[in-house]
Amino acid sequence: NYKELEKILFSMDGKSYSVYKSLKGEYKFEKYILAIDHVQSDPYAPPSKMRVIMDRKICGIPCELTDTKDKNIAVSDFLTRNFYREIQKIGNDSTGTGGSGRIFIDRCGQEILERTSVLIKRDKVEVRFEMGMPARGRRIMLKAAQKIIFEQLPEIVEKSIIYDNLNKKALNEQVILVLDQEYARKMLKEKGLVAFVANDSVLPRESGVSDRPMKNAVKFKSPEKFEITLKLPSGKEVSGMGIPKGITLIVGGGYHGKSTLLAALERGVYNHIAQDGREFIISESDAVKIRAEDGRNVEKVNISGFINNLPQNKDTKAFSTENASGSTSQAANVAEALEYGTSLLLIDEDTSATNFMIRDGRMQKLVAKEKEPITPFIDRVKELYDDFGVSTILIVGGSGDYFDVANHVIMMDEYVPKDVTEKAKEIAKSDENKREFSSNDKFKGVTQRIPLKKSFSQSGKLDKTKAKGKYSILYGKELIDISGMEQLVDDSQTNCIALMVDYFKNKVLDEKLTLSQVADRIYEKIEKEGLDSISSYTGHPGNLALPRKQEFCGAVNRYRKLKIK
Ligand code: ADP
Ligand code: MG
């Protein structure tokens, strides 16, 4: 028990740092068990990994608050934020070296994600955190170690995990909020919608580096034509703009808030915390932002629906390149999204290749069909919806060609959306310089690809995958750049993708399953056995947050040594 830990610590005073290693083990405290799973080897190394394991009865959180997956995620997120806040309150007065005397826990952003930071089971609650074991130089600092383990940690735990000490109202509200958001997302399909933006939502963010809501922003107000009201399980009713299935065009002058609206819809695949301003901006959970990503690697993707007859007869049914152009990368991103499965594509002119999006009547007259490899998105967007059930919301502020194919046209005017569908349709009708449909054949869909095992054996051995920040993953010496995936929101999702790739290459890859099927297997496992099960560590599993299938597959597809059957 903890007396033992006290004794061992006492005997360590002033000894060399590596002696800390022998602390590994479990110690019984008054209200919890402290599990020291991994001890850092020096004060500058990543901090030591520990868990607090508490009996559910002592914790006291009622079962009704955690009896479904969604509720469990809501409570776990709440406790993680609490624990984080209590750490900040305690501050750090340590004078030691490196991360000495500091406690860390995974940091939550504006989204509420499934995480490993706090595990809630029927019989126990487990907090996974890290501690910088105190040192002066490279010598163990007894006093500081005693303080952090026997004073600070118990205080943080007491204040942030024990139900009686929590802000019960806020906890309850967070659970209700998540349930309402999940319900709203389920209602989309029933109402024939792909997205919903509640009135009074705050869409813009504080700055390019802060995801908090902008202060004094113009609040969202739905155009009358699109306004619907959702009755939520909590009894609350929210009104706002329902964006129907089909093709929705967002137009408007520069700087009038188009990209801000689309960005909010991109994030609408996730649930958000109270006060975020986007609590009821809800999109189909499989919505994918599509952008040009020149320079990316593409491996045997069927982009023939968009690109054909490339110079030198390059095959576009199984198109590969190590350095995709704007248009080919965007075509590959669409094809891959269709492979994993999506019901909604989100496209912004700011990050699109113009020649992928449009080709106007004049250009069609000048450059013969046979000479142009690209069938622009405008000639496929209707087929995608009619034949494949995939809706698109896109911003095109610079060309009216999309008026012909759009089902709805929304204009952003000083941050306020207006319905301009009829006017746009009239203009389209009266126009003489019409463009022609530019393809000779129908869109035939995409090809499901089977990843090969040999993609992952560099120099004969299997390396480990490791996340480096939010936007890159290191596999052996190979860097996977995933900065093109704008719907990835958290470093811990990247950590999780790295472990999922590890698991995928070691256990699931069998040369019969397609990438999409392989991903489904992994998600099934996580669903059944929990997010911990993807980690190879025992005890503290690392800071993981569940990414979507879209982002997991997206990372695999950006791996430059990926080989496809
Ligand atoms: P567009 O894509 O139409 O050119 P943006 O969406 O990029 O315009 O928005 C331009 C600027 O206006 C951004 O700095 C954004 O933060 C700000 N903005 C967007 N929506 C609002 C709003 N509702 N209230 C206040 N400022 C906003
Ligand atoms: Mg823009």
Summarize pLDDT for 548-558 with one digit per residue, the tens: 999 999 999 99
User: For 44-58, 255-269, 431-445, which range has the lowest pLDDT when averaged over its residues?
Assistant: 431-445
Q: What is the pLDDT of residues 435-451, one digit of tens each?
A: 888 887 899 999 999 99
Neighbouring residues of 27: CB distance < 8 A, sequence distance ≥ 6 = 1, 2, 4, 5, 33, 34, 36
Residues with CB under 6 Å of ligand 1 are 203-204, 214, 217-218, 252, 254-260, 412, 415
Per residue, the 3-state secondary structure of 94-149, as one string, reads CCCCCCCCCEECCCCCCEECCECCEEECCCEEEEEEEECCCEECCEECHHHHHHHH
Residue 350 Cα: closest atom of ligand 1: 2
State the pLDDT at residue 306. 97
Per residue, the 3-state secondary structure of 452-516, as one string, reads CHHHHCECCECCCEEEECCCEEEECCEEEECCCCCCCCCHHHHHHHHHHHHHHHHHHCCCCCCHH
State the pLDDT at residue 434. 78
Other CB atoms within 10 Å distance of the CB of residue 379: 21
Rounded CA gap, 497 and 549, in Å?
10
Checking if the pLDDT of 353 tops 90, the result is yes
**Which ligand is in closest contact with the Cα of 351?**
2
How far does the centroid of ligand 1 lie from the alpha carbon of residue 546, in Å? Answer: 30
**Confidence category of residue 459, pLDDT binned at 50, 70, 90:** low
Backbone angles phi, psi at 394, to 5 degrees: -140, 150
Cα 96 from chain centroid? 36
Q: What angle do CA 355, 356, 359 make, to 5 degrees?
A: 50
Residue 348 Cα: closest atom of ligand 1: 2
Question: Which amino acid is it at 548?
Answer: R
**Which ligand is in closest contact with the Cα of 250?**
1
Average pLDDT in the chain: 95
Local structure of 408: helix, strand or coil = strand
Residues in a beta bridge with 412: 417
State the pLDDT at residue 476. 85
Checking if the pLDDT of 198 tops 80, the result is yes
Question: Virtual CA dihedral for 115, 121, 124, 126, nearest 10 degrees?
Answer: -10
CA 44 → CA 91, 133, 153, 493, 529, distances in Å?
A: 19, 10, 21, 25, 34
Q: What is the pLDDT of residues 480-509, one digit of tens each?
A: 999 999 999 999 999 999 999 999 888 888
Rounded CA gap, 523 and 506, in Å?
15
How far does the centroid of ligand 2 lie from the alpha carbon of residue 256, in Å? Answer: 8
Residues in a beta bridge with 417: 412
Q: Whose CA is nearest to atom 19 of ligand 1?
A: 257
Average pLDDT over residues 304-312: 90
Backbone angles phi, psi at 28, to 5 degrees: -90, 120
Kind and range of the H or E element at 210?
Answer: strand 210-213
Task: Tell me if 492 sits within 8 A of 545, measured CB to CB.
Answer: yes
Task: Tell me if 63 sits within 8 A of 123, measured CB to CB.
Answer: no
| Structure token pair of residue 406 | 């759009």
Conformation bin of residue 324: beta by default, left when phi > 0, alpha when psi is -120 to 50: beta
**Which ligand is in closest contact with the Cα of 412?**
1
Local structure of 269: helix, strand or coil = coil
Selection from 408, 406, 409, 404 nearest residue 435 by Cα: 404
Q: What is the pLDDT of residues 268-287, one digit of tens each?
A: 999 999 999 999 999 999 99
How far does the centroid of ligand 1 lie from the alpha carbon of residue 345, in Å? Answer: 21
How far does the centroid of ligand 2 lie from the alpha carbon of residue 251, in Å? Answer: 10
**Confidence category of residue 390, pLDDT binned at 50, 70, 90:** very high
State the pLDDT at residue 537. 87
Residue 253 Cα: closest atom of ligand 1: 3
Neighbouring residues of 44: CB distance < 8 A, sequence distance ≥ 6 = 97, 98, 99
State the pLDDT at residue 120. 98
Neighbouring residues of 369: CB distance < 8 A, sequence distance ≥ 6 = 438, 440
**Which ligand is in closest contact with the Cα of 254?**
1
Q: Whose CA is nearest to atom 27 of ligand 1?
A: 204
Rounded CA gap, 95 and 105, in Å?
21
Selection from 221, 202, 176 nearest residue 68 by Cα: 176
- The distance in angstroms from the start CA to the end CA of the chain is 56
Which of 255, 262, 291, 346 maximizes ligand 1 atoms within 8 Å of its Cβ, making it the mutation to test the pocket? 255
Q: Whose CA is nearest to atom 10 of ligand 1?
A: 255
Ligand 2 is an ion; its neighbours by CB within 5 Å are 258-259, 350
How far does the centroid of ligand 1 lie from the alpha carbon of residue 418, in Å? Answer: 16
State the pLDDT at residue 456. 85
**Helices first, then strands: H and E counts in the chain:** 15, 27
Residues in a beta bridge with 55: 124
Residue 395 Cα: closest atom of ligand 1: 2
Q: Where are the domains of the chain?
A: 2-166, 288-430, 453-557
Checking if the pLDDT of 458 tops 80, the result is no
How far does the centroid of ligand 2 lie from the alpha carbon of residue 489, in Å? Answer: 20
Angle (deg, nearest 10), helices 153-161 and 69-90 = 140
Eight-state DSSP code of residue 243: E
Selection from 564, 562, 551, 565 nearest residue 498 by Cα: 551
How far does the centroid of ligand 1 lie from the alpha carbon of residue 131, in Å? Answer: 41
Kind and range of the H or E element at 563?
Answer: none
| Structure token pair of residue 318 | 């199984």
Average pLDDT over residues 332-344: 97
CATH assignment of 288-430?
3.40.50
**Which ligand is in closest contact with the Cα of 258?**
1
State the pLDDT at residue 462. 64
**Confidence category of residue 461, pLDDT binned at 50, 70, 90:** low
Cα 227 from chain centroid? 28
Task: Tell me if 270 sits within 8 A of 326, measured CB to CB.
Answer: no
How far does the centroid of ligand 2 lie from the alpha carbon of residue 455, in Å? Answer: 38
Q: Whose CA is nearest to atom 4 of ligand 1?
A: 255
Q: Whose CA is nearest to atom 1 of ligand 1?
A: 255
Neighbouring residues of 384: CB distance < 8 A, sequence distance ≥ 6 = 345, 390, 392, 443
Kind and range of the H or E element at 55?
Answer: strand 48-55
**Which ligand is in closest contact with the Cα of 252?**
1
Quote ipTM for the complex.
Answer: 0.99
How far does the centroid of ligand 2 lie from the alpha carbon of residue 435, in Å? Answer: 25
Rounded CA gap, 59 and 124, in Å?
8
Which of 205, 260, 261, 265 maximizes ligand 1 atoms within 8 Å of its Cβ, making it the mutation to test the pocket? 260
Checking if the pLDDT of 432 tops 90, the result is no
| Beta strands at 124-131 and 465-468: parallel, antiparallel or unpaired | unpaired
How far does the centroid of ligand 2 lie from the alpha carbon of residue 205, in Å? Answer: 14
Checking if the pLDDT of 460 tops 90, the result is no
Selection from 491, 498, 470 nearest residue 107 by Cα: 491
- DSSP sequence for 135-202: EETTEE-HHHHHHIIIIIHHHHHHHHH-GGGS-HHHHHHHHHHHHHHHHHHHHHHHTTEEEEEETT--
Q: What is the pLDDT of residues 213-239, one digit of tens each?
A: 999 999 999 999 999 999 999 999 999
Q: What is the pLDDT of residues 121-160, one digit of tens each?
A: 999 999 999 999 999 989 999 999 999 999 999 999 999 9
